Structure 1
Amino acid sequence: MNKAITDGVVLMPPSFANGLNVWSSGDGTPGSDTYANAANAAFVPADQDFGSCLEVQKIANTTRLRYMGETPLLPGCYLQITARIKVISGSLPNVRVAAFAGRSGGNAVTGIPLNAASTTLTDYGEVYEIKAIVGAGDRTGVDMIWGSEPIYGHFGIDLTGPNGGIVRIDDIEIEDVTSFFLRDLISVVDVRDYGAIGDGTTDNSAAFDRANAAANGRLILVPPGVYRLNSDVTLEGPVRFEGTVTMPTDKVLLLTTEFHLPAYIDAFGDEELAFKKGFQALLNNSDHEALDLRGRKVFITEPIDMQAAVPDRTSYATRRVIRNGQLEAASGGDWATTVVNSQATYDPADSRTLTSVSNIASVEVGSLVEGAGVGREIYVRSKNISTGEITLNKPLYDAEGRQNFKFSRFKYLVDFSGFSSLSKFVFDDIEFQCNGVCSGILLSPGGSIFHIRDCFVTRPLNRGVTSHGSGCQGIFIDRCQFLSNEDAEDVSDRQSIGFNINANDPKIRDNRATRFRHFGLFGGSNNVISGNHFFQGDSVANGVRSAGFVFASGYTSSVVSANYIDNCFIEWTNEHDSTPDFTAGFSFSSMTISSNVFLSGDVAPWFSYIVVKPFGTGHFLNGLAVTGNKFRSIQGNIDRVDRVDTSFADLDRSRFKLVDFTGNSYNGVEYQVSNPLRIKHQQNTAASTWVIETEGRLPFEGYAVGVDSVTFLERTRNANNVAKYQMPHVELREGPNQDRAHVVWGEDQKGEVQIALRIDD
């Protein structure tokens, strides 16, 4: 690179032979004294070493020689000033390259070095070559670092030291030596050429901006050093970081061409900080929809407060993606669960509020709430210290009055709880490696359509994905693996949960989960769950099993289809109801469980795959379809696939409605239930009342409250085998368990019929 050649820029001063009126004895600015007709100077037309030259007698403490032409100093250019000098007689002086630095308008630039190091002349007649380089950047070999403010200079030399000596000076040369500093003559822009100083304290924001503007697609080089940026900076071309940058938390570094995590790691020199700054840029940039980790593993030493990384945003609703990498919790990091025990008052009339909370300042938002009458996955959504109130994500089922509560704030690899709302955010192909020391993801308290796809949530200590508000509205969890930290624990000792959902419309599809306490808890409605495989067994003989899915509200409007439900069960409760007793509404309603594979091994005989657990009186089934499932128990039979858990209350079996329990297959199951239940009854002794036994095969040990049909399988006859042509009627809810039916005739008869009984109207 040579601007004199490429751009025709004139750098070289004229020869002394052309006249001394352009050579100043001052600073070189217009109007300063020249050497034309000066008493202490003369032009020498012939010298044995120089040819023509200038002879000067040193008569002042600093005798100056400056070319009065404005030699341009272009951004990115480095100029070398060369002077050859010898002493003829008198005192031996010192000599140095020196200059005047000018800005637009002719004003002097101050605060920068205007001379290079001095050389002492020690011998008469010896030719000394004095050189110095001037330029914008702080580079090795640059003698006068001027930054980006000066745009021209008046260059020459100074004579210092003793007066009286006479020297001869050859024509001064100025040349472009930028090529000394460029590794690639046409493709690299060095930020130092635009005034950047890598001392860790100087603000280089403007210098980076100038380098970016000049790059025009060329590589931007950030050489070794630490470059402070106090303002937002955008680098639009490719960047190579040999040094690093530092910035305030609220300032953004946007790498538009190199927008991926490795570039931010190179920029900041710290993986964890780089992830935060990359996320900050993602939410402050309209040009990129995704931050690609490019397969990098990032070690995380403490929970990442995702909102704190983007201080200018408290909500966000434009689709953004983080993809392709691993976030791993570093052992020994700040992962300890914060536990606060406190007293509070609960009133079912204000079902999501705790009042008069003692020590509320210590209770963290996002804490799990535990206590008498508190359902599973109840969290602190928000708090108001001034009023002493906590807002919960769900009601409590039986905690009226004042009591002790335990608040446990788990630590998460990524924590979005600082956002008020976050929508359309995606994690794609990320492994959250929790290493048994922390949990995975804490969602924001508001927002919708959060999407986790093709991810691994590996060994979470407490929770894989937690929603403490409604940020789970419409969540997608697709093709993920949830790998428990409690594989070696017996079922009864496990406490970790894959995920919980409070809001409506989630889609949970094609995931795999291993040995959690529960894979998922659903607190909302319109859940679509399909294609998942989750298993929760252990090696205990006749062991207990925990629920794989928990539906915590009576009206659920959910579809559970084509899943592999392995050594666990579906639990349907209403523990998130603030008034558990049924007074109005739909009760346990709108559930479809279809085409699933249910498998268990070596479980207690009373184990069941579908368990309804009422938390109040008066509840009933009102719209349940269990169809096309495959139920199989190995290493020992189970009694039945369906059960009502009466720990708190029982169902009102007289009110069942719209229950379809058909088309299922059973292996290793004693009571193979169906609704309608088709029973063949052979009456061998003539009687007017035929007692139809259901033998425990009505779902949920329901009452025989309805009949679809009575079909004659042969002609009925009296005791004398005389054919009879009568129609019977059916009496229902017979027997001590109300699960029998009576087929009643006008006279004694015998024969065979098929009857279809129902547990619902």
Structure 2
Amino acid sequence: MNKAITDGLVFMPAAFEFGLDQWSSGDGTPGSDTYDNAPNAAFVPSDQDFGGCIEMLKTEFDVQKLRYMGQTPLLPGCYLRITARIKAIAGNLPSIRIAGWAAGTNGAHIDGLVEVGPSVTLQSYGNIVEVSAIVGTGTRNGVDMAWGSDAIYGHFGLDLTGPAGGVVRIDDLIIEDISSAFLRDMFDVVDIRDYGAIGDGLTDAALALEAADAAANGRVVLVPAGTYFLDRNVTIDSRIRFEGRVVMPTNRRLSLRKNFDLPTYIEAFKDEQIALEKALQALMNSVDHESLDMGGRRVQIDRPVDVQAAVENRDAYEIRRVLRNGQIEASASSNWDTIVVSSSASYAIQNPTTLSNVANVANIEVGSLIEGNGVGREVYVSDRNISAGTLTLSKPLYGASSSQTYSFKRFKYLIDFIGFERSSRFVLDSLELQCSGRCSGVMLAKGGSIFEIINCTINKPMDRGITSTGTACQGMIIDGCQFLSNETSVRVQDRTTIGLNANANDVKIRNSRVMKFKHFAVLGGTGNLIVGNHWFQGDDEPNGLGIGGMIFTTPNVKTAITGNYIDNNFIEWTNEHDATPEYAAQFSFGGMTVTGNIFTCNDVTKDFNFFVVKPYGAGHFIHGLNLSCNVFKSLNGNITRVEKVDDSFAELNYLRMRNVVIEANTFNSVDEQTQNPVSLKHQQNSDQRSWTIPFAPYLPFGGRARWCEGIVADGPIISGSNNQVFATPYADLNQGSNNDQIRLTWPQACRGNVMITARVDNPQ
């Protein structure tokens, strides 16, 4: 081993001819005195023995130092020999020894170490004497200065000791790496060839590998150059080093208990994708390790990592396991091509998650996205029965015909769990999934719970970031992640990519950043917590269209959206995953809290809104919405309102609205500022028995003035005869053509001011 060759390290100090300002009369540390222009030292350019050298007069009575001011690195396992050649010229004859100054972290001196080598006394003038010493990290035979693992570098040179008054000449110092002299002691290995392994790629080397492991006794098992075939499951308890390559069938496992990390598996299999699959296979068949560390490696793959196929012996796995710390990148390959199938099928609302009489059902893969008339967003094939000709759907269809043609798109994913019937508690931690516009990110299993993606980046997915086709998204946690779109230059309305979807309940999305997808998330379950995220979807088009960023497809959603930055998109609330979307006796739209968020839009059309309710069937209403303490801001032009009902399919039933709270919001560049309840001051200047008070600009969702919470006179109410009126008026609600007015009726014609509070809903 020679670190100067293998790692490109520089050990040799500068020659004296390059200046004595690099040589210190102290310890060699920054700021110490040098021999540059010193009265007791000079550079001699043409000594008959040395060529260029330094001539020194010993002026110190005890120790006179010569130290190189450069930092000579000292790595663990590295041993350096420092050599100097010297001759006496005149005066007293000194003694010579190699010496150094040991530096630790931040350049601090390490006390208590031996910092000098053996001393040699000069015996005569003109004779060349060579002195040397070995410095290293370990205490080994032949090592003069053992500095341990805390030493980072040293300042090396020599000491002149003995009486003052002598003149010497010193040749350029030599520092060389001699670690190879110690390798045998440092890296004792057990070679599997000594136990019968033949690296021909055909002979089974499994028993030889196990025998070497049993004999290692703390030494390293060496797999030397060659190809070694393993035809059984092998577990290695010792440390192991691979110079050669291992090959083994898909159903055979290699478990490396002391070296369980992806870089070691890559060294073993010499193929990054196979190594990743084999390491995952070992991870999910072992009780020794809960996580697979990729070691910061970037792994390029040309096909999806089918996790269940790699594990092979399990169709369900519900023990916590973690894949962490690396990058997986899709390289160019036709293996990423989306499979598209068109097929006719029958649908009946009595079996809302089944397609029957499916033509070419065998050609439709589980995990395919379904598109067609009456199909909501993010509906997938979660299972199939080829013999019965049926497909199981992740969600019902809101308006499909009894028989029609559908399109099925099977996207390809970097990491695909769909082969598992159930997978729970799997964690992706600190990974970058570099989709490169060629594939999607992660496909979850058919079922399971508590899938976690933390501190990850999903970069440029071709179609989807994270897809759930079943219920494995139950309790899914997404925390501290980035979703970076492949469509940043595409207009909002032309985009097709979606960050993620979920079908089940209790999804937590926190502290994540999502950039320029068609939709950030399509959530079909309840109990969601959306906290502290920033998702933005704008484009460069003037007066651009807005589109839903966070889509909820369950009406009674039981969800909190808190402390997010929602930029150039809106929250959309639908019931598109309902086979009978008309209201019957179920819960209608309710259970949503939207508080403390920042809503921003920039250069959008005036009819852009930040919160949109879109019923897919008639009769629905809102019964439980808190939209409070948010900031709404429009840049480069006003918008009319922050909220609306999208009545493309149906209107809301405004007569059944209840428990709607919209208050304490901040509006910037919004023409009509929504509130509920709404408190107004009405000034009646003429004597009238009936006062009509409009609330239209303020009541949310174009709603009706259904409730009057209070009426307070602001000053005296004066009759036509200028007498005070002490009677109380009664209120008629739902007045006007749009039912957005309240009429107050007094016992007599009068004038004055009142404070009146109205609501769009029944608060009870």
TM range (shorter): 0.7 to 0.9
Q: CA shift at 1:696, angstroms?
A: 2.1
Matched AA of 2:474? Q
Alpha-carbon distance in 1 for matches of 2:482, 2:416: 20
- Listed as ranges, the matches of 1:2-401 within 5 Å are 183-184=184-185, 187-401=188-402
Aligned counterpart, 2:514: 513
Contact 1:448 1:472 in 2 (8 A): yes
Aligned counterpart, 1:525: 526
742-751 or 386-395: bigger deviation: 742-751
Q: CA shift at 1:560, angstroms?
A: 0.5
Alpha-carbon distance in 2 for matches of 1:505, 1:721: 64
Aligned counterpart, 1:613: 614
Aligned counterpart, 1:710: 711
Aligned counterpart, 2:97: none
1:679 partnered with 2:668: no
Contact 1:344 1:404 in 2 (8 A): yes
SS at match of 2:274: helix
Moved >3 Å (runs of 4+): 182-186
Q: Deviations over 1:603-650 (max 9, x none)?
A: 111110000000000000010110100001110100100000011111
Alpha-carbon distance in 2 for matches of 1:184, 1:457: 46
Aligned counterpart, 2:630: 629
Alpha-carbon distance in 1 for matches of 2:451, 2:624: 30
Alpha-carbon distance in 2 for matches of 1:718, 1:287: 89
Q: CA shift at 1:237, angstroms?
A: 1.4
- Listed as ranges, the matches of 1:425-464 within 5 Å are 425-464=426-465
Q: Deviations over 1:723-758 (max 9, x none)?
A: 111111111000000010011111111111111101
Aligned counterpart, 1:661: 662
Q: CA shift at 1:695, angstroms?
A: 3.1
Q: CA shift at 1:184, angstroms?
A: 4.9
Aligned counterpart, 1:546: 547
338-347 or 201-210: bigger deviation: 201-210
Alpha-carbon distance in 2 for matches of 1:682, 1:185: 95
SS at match of 2:311: coil
Alpha-carbon distance in 2 for matches of 1:186, 1:436: 45
Contact 2:705 2:739 in 1 (8 A): yes
Alpha-carbon distance in 2 for matches of 1:608, 1:291: 45
1:588 partnered with 2:589: yes
SS at match of 2:265: helix
SS at match of 1:669: coil
SS at match of 1:361: helix
Alpha-carbon distance in 1 for matches of 2:186, 2:599: 69
Contact 1:435 1:460 in 2 (8 A): yes
Q: CA shift at 1:217, angstroms?
A: 2.3
Contact 1:217 1:236 in 2 (8 A): no
Alpha-carbon distance in 2 for matches of 1:217, 1:553: 59
Alpha-carbon distance in 2 for matches of 1:241, 1:711: 86
Contact 1:348 1:400 in 2 (8 A): no
Contact 2:696 2:702 in 1 (8 A): no
Q: Deviations over 1:305-334 (max 9, x none)?
A: 110000111111111000000000002341
Matched AA of 1:336? D
Aligned counterpart, 1:11: none
Contact 2:320 2:425 in 1 (8 A): yes
Aligned counterpart, 2:742: 741
Contact 2:562 2:597 in 1 (8 A): yes
Give the direction of change, closer, same or farther, for the CA distance of 1:428–1:186 in structure 2 (3 Å limit): closer
- Listed as ranges, the matches of 1:689-704 within 5 Å are 689-704=690-705
Alpha-carbon distance in 1 for matches of 2:654, 2:458: 41
SS at match of 2:671: strand
SS at match of 1:309: helix
Q: CA shift at 1:555, angstroms?
A: 1.1
Aligned counterpart, 2:505: 504
Alpha-carbon distance in 2 for matches of 1:695, 1:618: 22
1:473 partnered with 2:452: no
SS at match of 1:405: strand
Matched AA of 1:501? A
Q: CA shift at 1:349, angstroms?
A: 0.7
Q: Deviations over 1:235-281 (max 9, x none)?
A: 11111100010111011100111110000000000111100001001
Alpha-carbon distance in 2 for matches of 1:281, 1:699: 57
Contact 1:464 1:482 in 2 (8 A): yes
Matched AA of 2:459? T
Alpha-carbon distance in 2 for matches of 1:585, 1:274: 51
1:646 partnered with 2:647: yes
Q: CA shift at 1:185, angstroms?
A: 8.3
Q: Deviations over 1:486-507 (max 9, x none)?
A: 0000011100000000000000
Alpha-carbon distance in 2 for matches of 1:656, 1:375: 25
Alpha-carbon distance in 2 for matches of 1:389, 1:606: 43
Alpha-carbon distance in 2 for matches of 1:584, 1:606: 33
Alpha-carbon distance in 2 for matches of 1:522, 1:308: 29
Identity of aligned residues (%): 49
Matched AA of 2:323? I
Alpha-carbon distance in 2 for matches of 1:725, 1:555: 46
Alpha-carbon distance in 2 for matches of 1:229, 1:462: 39
Q: Deviations over 1:584-616 (max 9, x none)?
A: 111101011111000001111111000000000
Matched AA of 1:331? A
Contact 2:607 2:641 in 1 (8 A): yes
Alpha-carbon distance in 1 for matches of 2:212, 2:393: 52
Q: CA shift at 1:183, angstroms?
A: 4.7
Q: Deviations over 1:511-532 (max 9, x none)?
A: 0011100000100000000101
Q: CA shift at 1:720, angstroms?
A: 3.2
Where structure 1 has 5 or more consecutive residues not aligned to the other structure, the ranges are 1-181
Return the TM-score normalized by structure 1: 0.76
SS at match of 2:350: helix
Give the direction of change, closer, same or farther, for the CA distance of 1:208–1:277 in structure 2 (3 Å limit): same
Size of the aligned set, in residue pairs, is 581
Aligned counterpart, 1:599: 600
Alpha-carbon distance in 1 for matches of 2:334, 2:271: 16
Alpha-carbon distance in 1 for matches of 2:344, 2:708: 54
Contact 2:556 2:591 in 1 (8 A): yes
Contact 2:303 2:333 in 1 (8 A): no
716-725 or 545-554: bigger deviation: 716-725
Contact 2:382 2:469 in 1 (8 A): yes
Alpha-carbon distance in 2 for matches of 1:710, 1:216: 90
Return the TM-score normalized by structure 2: 0.75
Alpha-carbon distance in 2 for matches of 1:760, 1:216: 78
Q: Deviations over 1:553-594 (max 9, x none)?
A: 111100011000000000000000111000011110101111
| RMSD of equivalent CA atoms | 1.2
Aligned counterpart, 1:572: 573
Q: Deviations over 1:193-226 (max 9, x none)?
A: 1111111000111111111111122111100010
